[in-house]
Structure formats: C-alpha cells, structure tokens
Copies of this chain bind each other. A is one copy, B any other.
Amino acid sequence: MRKNIIVFGGDGFCGWPTSLHISACGYNVTIVDNLVRRKTDIELECESLTPITPIGTRIEVWKKMTSKNIGYHYMNVAEDYEGLLALFKKLKPIAIVHFAEQRAAPYSMKSPSHKRYTVNNNINATSNILCSIVESGVDCHVVHLGTMGVYGYGTAGMKIPEGYLKVKVGGDSQKIKMLYPPNPGSIYHMTKCQDAIMFYYYNKNDDIRITDLHQGIVWGTNTPDTMLDERLVNRFDYDGDYGTVLNRFLMQAAVGHPLTVHGTGGQTRAFIHIQDTVKCVRLAIENPPRHGKRVRIFNQAAESYNIKDLAQKVNELVGAEIRYYKNPRKEDAENTLQFQNEGFKSLGWEPITLNTNLMKEVSDIALKYGERCDKRKIICTSLWNKDNELDYIGSKEEVI
C-alpha cells in the first residue's frame, strides 16, 4: 500500500506539527519547503518567540525520538515546476497537504510588493501543484489549507455552510447549490478565493480529488509531538504581521504589553487549536472524497469569539491592560459569525474549545521565552489602504 504523503510548507507554523502528526500516525512524510517563513523573519527583523531549530535538526531529533524518517526537499513550488513534477513521479503520494502559501493578511497588505508577492506566490504554488499532479498521472488527494476568511464576516444571522450555499434562483423554481460567494478581506484572503476556482476547475476537468479546509484562526503552539523534545518546538509568532490574535494577547500579557485590540474589538472570528489543526488534516487525509465528486470543503474551526471578549478572557486569566488601537484593516467594526462544522464532526472530531489549561500553556511558553520578544514588533503596522494610513499619522498607538 502506498503510504507517501508530501507536506508542502511543512516547516511552517501549521505545517511542522502536521508533518510530525502524520509521521507519528505511520505515513511516510516528505516535507517540501523553501524555508521562506524563516527568511521572512529576517526581512521583518523579528524571530519566532520560541527558538526553532534548523529543519535538518528538527528531522534528526524526530528520527531519534521516534525512529521515524521524514524526507525533506528545499524547493520553491511556485517556481520549480520540474522539481515538483519529478517529486510526484518519484514518490507517487496518496495525498499531499498544501500549506505552501504566504499566510498572513497583514503581510499581504504591507506594500505593493508584498501584495504582488502574495498573489504571485500563492497562485503559482497552487497552479504548479495541480498541474504537476495531472502531468504525473498520480492519483493523489489534495488537502489544502484555506481560511474561513474567504466567506467574509458580514453574513448577518446565517450559519455559514461548509463551502457551498443552497439558493433559489428565478422565482423559487430552480434550486442550486453553488460555491459560497467569496468575500475576501485582504489580498491574502483573495488568493485563497482564487485557489478555490483552480480547485473547482481541476476537479471538474481532471477529476482531481480535493479537500479544501476553511480554517479559523489558529491558537496554541505545541502538540504532543512537538513537545517530545525542545528542539522540536513549534514556531510562535507574536509580531503585528504574522502573530495570530489569541496567541498575541497571551504573549502581550506575559511581557507586560497592553493587549492590542483593533477598532472596537467587535469583530467575531472563528478559532481552532493547533492540536486540532493537525488532527483535522489527518482526518481529511484518511477520509478522501471519492472520484467523480466535487471539491469537498470543511470548515476547520471549533468556535467563534468576539475579539473584545477574548481580550477580557485573557485579562481574567493572567491580568492585562486592554488598549484599543485604530483598526489597520478595512472591515466592518462589528460582525457576528456562526458556521457549520459538521463535516469533521461526522468523521469523529471533538473540537478543543477555549480552555484555561491550554491558554495557560501558551502563556507559559510566552513567559519562558519572553526575553526573546522585541516589543517594537508587537504593533501592527500594515495598513489596508490610505484611509487607514491617515488615521495613524503621528500616533501609532493612539487609543480611540
């Protein structure tokens, strides 16, 4: 039985613990990564709060701890099509996991070159992966990390379905199920909506089996696998570009920085713990869609929280000043967000919800490595457009 799985972007925040989990579950994992996330640390002059080891060390330590091999190829999948094709032909994977995209909304809005890089990188990565699967002739399930953000956040009252929307057209006579209309909130989110169209087309024309995971905001740092040895530790981003909100709050509290709520804090977001990310990806791999079926979309998120409430929870847990900053994003000040996640639940997933123990664990990590924090990197400096820029002039930390 073929057991090869390629994890594109397997050195990143979600990719690394996913690679370990899949390896631990008995699959032959090959990581493909150009280590761009580590290079972006250099660009942004801000490292992971946790001291991550080189990928070679990570893989060696994993081997030592578990006797399991993980393969690794340094490759830019958005550029090296021939290398990618050769890899598919050689490994004939049963599935691939596609994390190989620039994944931060603020980074994607930083400047014209960041916008253009995000589009070019993400679209060509997905295009190359799909194209090489068809050319190689390998029957391979594509599991893609997407985002809940493709839905937009303005869906008043409606529970967001899993990727498809049932509608009535033309005087109730026609009922159709269509891709949920995309409503991206940044260039990054836009590329995920563009990905969806590529998935739709390659599935239709070439019968590629695809699962697109519309993931919520990830929180937490480690998984049982990354905790086996300190050299396996997962990355922890706290900066204004790559840090995700709950981890940032917990870390801000740990280093004595006010919690940075953008705007009113009335924005509602979907969340998932990193330990559930890896579990869901594995569940998707082990339950592939059948040939002839359309792209399968799962909402990979456990629950929704309002940012203000989240800040309040952190305040209650560890004590922290909450400060309101002008919102750098162009978005509604407040929104509700309800969504379905029956797909994974039907495969046996029991979501981890926000709990004190796991929040405490993030807080402990933040305390442990707090001295590595550069406080100047905490504030988000990426602005969605010039309207936001005007607000910022002269007072980047101005309280509303």
A residues contacting B by CB (< 8 A) are 81, 85, 112-113, 115-116, 119-120, 123-124, 127-128, 131-132, 134-135, 137, 157-158, 165-170, 172, 174, 176, 178-179, 181-184, 186-187, 190, 193-194, 197-198, 200-201, 204-206, 330, 384-386
Smallest Cβ distance from A173 to chain B, in angstroms? 9
- Inter-chain contacts of A157 with B (CB < 8 A): 174
Q: Which chain B residues border A128 with CB–CB below 8 Å?
A: 116
**Residue in B closest to A173 when the chains form the complex, CB atoms:** B157
Which residues on B sit within 8 Å (CB–CB) of A206?
385
Closest to A384 in B: B205
Number of copies: 2
Complex contact B201–A174 (CB within 8 A): no
Instruction: Name A's interface SS.
Output: helix
Task: Tell me, rounded to whole Å, the shortest Cβ–Cβ distance linking A128 to chain B.
Answer: 7
Is A197 in contact with B182, judged by CB distance below 8 angstroms? yes
- Give chain B nearest CB distance to A110 CB in angstroms: 12
Q: Which residue of B lies closest to A168 (CB)?
A: B168
Within 8 Å by CB of A112, from B119, B131, B158, B168, lies B131
The answer to whether A116 touches B178, judged by C-beta atoms less than 8 angstroms apart, is no
Smallest CB separation, A43 vs chain B (Å): 18
Q: Which 5 A-B pairs have the closest CB atoms?
A: A167-B167, A178-B181, A194-B194, A168-B168, A119-B127
Residues of B within 8 A of A169 (CB): 158, 165-168
Question: A206's closest neighbor in chain B, by CB?
Answer: B385
A188 to B: closest C-beta gap in Å: 10
* A187 touching B201, Cβ below 8 Å: yes
Tell me which residues across on chain B come within 8 A of A85, comparing CB atoms.
112
Report chain B residues within 8 Å CB of A204. 330
Q: Across the two chains, which residue of chain B brings its CB closest to A136?
A: B112
Which of chain B's residues have a CB closer than 8 A to the CB of A205? 186, 330, 384-385
* Contact between A201 and B184, CB atoms less than 8 A apart: yes
Kindly state the separation between the CA atoms of A374 and B175 in the bound complex, as whole angstroms.
49
In the assembly, what is the distance between CA of A124 and CA of B158, in Å?
A: 35
Contact of B182 with A190 in the complex, beta carbons under 8 Å: no
**In the assembly, what is the distance between CA of A54 and CA of B60, in Å?**
61
Compute how far the CA of A330 lies from the CA of B201 in the bound complex, rounded to whole angstroms.
Answer: 11
A181-B164 Cα distance, complex, nearest whole Å: 11
Q: What's the Cα separation between A157 and B171 when bound, in Å?
A: 13
Q: Please report the C-alpha to C-alpha distance between residue A112 and residue B190 in the assembled complex, in whole angstroms.
A: 24
Question: CA–CA, A330 to B176, complex, Å?
Answer: 22
Scoring A81, A137, A182, A386 by chain B CB atoms within 10 A of each residue's CB, the highest score goes to A182
A-B contact pairs, 23 of them (CB 8 A): A81-B113, A112-B131, A112-B135, A115-B127, A116-B127, A116-B128, A119-B127, A120-B124, A134-B385, A157-B174, A158-B170, A166-B169, A167-B169, A168-B169, A178-B181, A181-B181, A182-B200, A184-B200, A184-B201, A197-B197, A204-B330, A205-B330, A205-B385
A185 CB → nearest B CB, Å: 8
The docked-state distance in angstroms from the alpha carbon of A308 to that of B206 is 27
Across the interface, name the chain B residue whose C-beta is closest to A119: B127
Residue on B with the closest CB to A111?
B135
Nearest Cβ distance between residue A49 and chain B, in whole angstroms?
A: 31
**Chain B residues, Cβ within 8 Å of A115:** 127, 131
